[in-house]
Structure 1
Amino acid sequence: MNGTRIDADGWTRRTVLTALAAGGVGSLAGCLGGGRGGPDPVSLNGGQACDYCNMRIEMHPGPVGQSFYTDDPPASLPEDREDGIARFCSSTCTYNYVLENEQRGHEPAVSYGTDYSSVDYELRSDGGTTVISAHLGAESFADLRDLTFVANSDVEGAMGNSLIGFTDGDDAESFAGEHGGELLSHGDVTREVLSALGG
């Protein structure tokens, strides 16, 4: 099942709007750099392992994430990781890693998560569980601070219950209306929220 409707010409409303927005945002990003002063997101389809749980990212469904530790990388990042990027197989791994390292005094320049408002996602059954598709291209990410998350829905990702993010709040509300769950902003995500998700 597709997350957005495709019309007879093969174009979705979201594809057209995304293309128009990307032109404007792309020109701004060239002036401003990546997410609010940090680097731009990168693709995660090169066989990387999650820096929190060590699962292979591209082998699992659901939202993924990345954080850029450009100035002060945590000790948990491999020493040969010169780009300072921490990569994650799920939104819960992303937040667990970021929050744990913030407690140790390491804050990322920027963190990104899958933006399901910018992709044509699919839902499928996997052993009786409904899972959402993964999107690993650089263009499918948005700054975590710009996402509205649906938590505790009946749709899962790599680590089970997920934080499924949307830059369009209406998309998040619609998803929650169809699949259950509650809406959270970036600032609402705490270790307690993650524990309740089982992450």
Structure 2
Amino acid sequence: MNRVACALLIMAGALLAGCKDDAKTSNLPPPHSLTAEAIGNYCGMNVLEHPGPKGQILLAGWPEPVWFSSARDTFAYTMLPEEAKTIAAIYVSDMARAESWDNPGIANWIEARQASFVIGSRMRSGMGADEAVPFGDRTAAERFVAEHGGRIVGFADVPRDYILGGNSDGSHIDGIDTPQRVAEGQAGHAH
């Protein structure tokens, strides 16, 4: 095989891999724009009144999103056993596209499983708790870490204790349930 043919095969493989990733997100229901009617699932308050990233979960067969005043609360919903597990899509504010911390935007959503998250930073959620700050652009996440501290992890690597309590620095502890492990039924046993 000549070099041109090899190069074409490599490019075709890369394009197909990209299409596969697009297919993962293209079959998802689209996110809703944030409105004044959005009430946080856990706090019962207007989501727009809180600074920092927000979240919404779309449930299969349910027309309206479940709103969250923070990305951290969005994670909590995926981890708590009493919450619905018919999740069709999980969207969080893309802070790489946010105007500011106080104005994260009403329509700049990213599917949570495609985002990078900064955990353990000095920035707090709208309710004053530690936050899992989502970014659609890893370079923006790295700039955020340089300015506010923390570390970058993927959706599946956000520790359960960081979200539900017990380990506020965001460091990983063996056996901690992450959203991916819970979804796959492989929950560990945290002490």
**TM band (smaller chain):** 0.5 to 0.7
Question: Closer, same or farther in 2 for the Cα pair 1:105/1:40, shift >3 Å?
Answer: closer
Name the aligned partner's letter for residue 125 of structure 2.
Answer: G
User: Between Structure 1 and Structure 2, how many residues are aligned?
Assistant: 146
Unaligned runs of 5+ in 1: 1-27, 72-81, 122-131
Percent identity, please.
27
Per the normalisation by structure 1, the TM-score is 0.65
User: Cα deviations across residues 78-118 of structure 1 (Å, max 9, x unaligned)?
Assistant: xxxx51421111011111112215x7661311100010112
Higher relative contact order (CA 8 A, sep 6+): 1
Question: What is the correspondence of 1:132-143 to structure 2 with a 5 Å cutoff?
Answer: 132-138=101-107, 140-143=108-111
Cα RMSD of the aligned pairs, angstroms, is 2.5
The letter for the 2-side match of 1:142 is: I
User: What does 1:1-199 align with in structure 2 at a 5 Å threshold?
Assistant: 35-71=25-61, 82-101=62-81, 106-121=85-100, 132-138=101-107, 140-160=108-128, 161-194=130-163, 195=165, 196-197=167-168
Unpaired runs of 5+ residues, structure 2, are 1-18, 170-191
Contact 1:70 1:84 in 2 (8 A): no
The verdict on how the C-alpha distance between 1:40 and 1:159 changes in structure 2, with shifts beyond 3 A counting, is same
Highest Rg: 1 or 2?
A: 2
Q: Tell me, what secondary structure is at the counterpart of 1:96?
A: helix
The letter of the residue matching 2:140 is D
- Normalized per residue, the structure richer in strand is 1
Q: Return the alpha-carbon distance in structure 2 between the equivalents of residues 40 and 182 of structure 1.
A: 29
1:193 partner amino acid: Y
- TM-score normalised by L of structure 2: 0.68
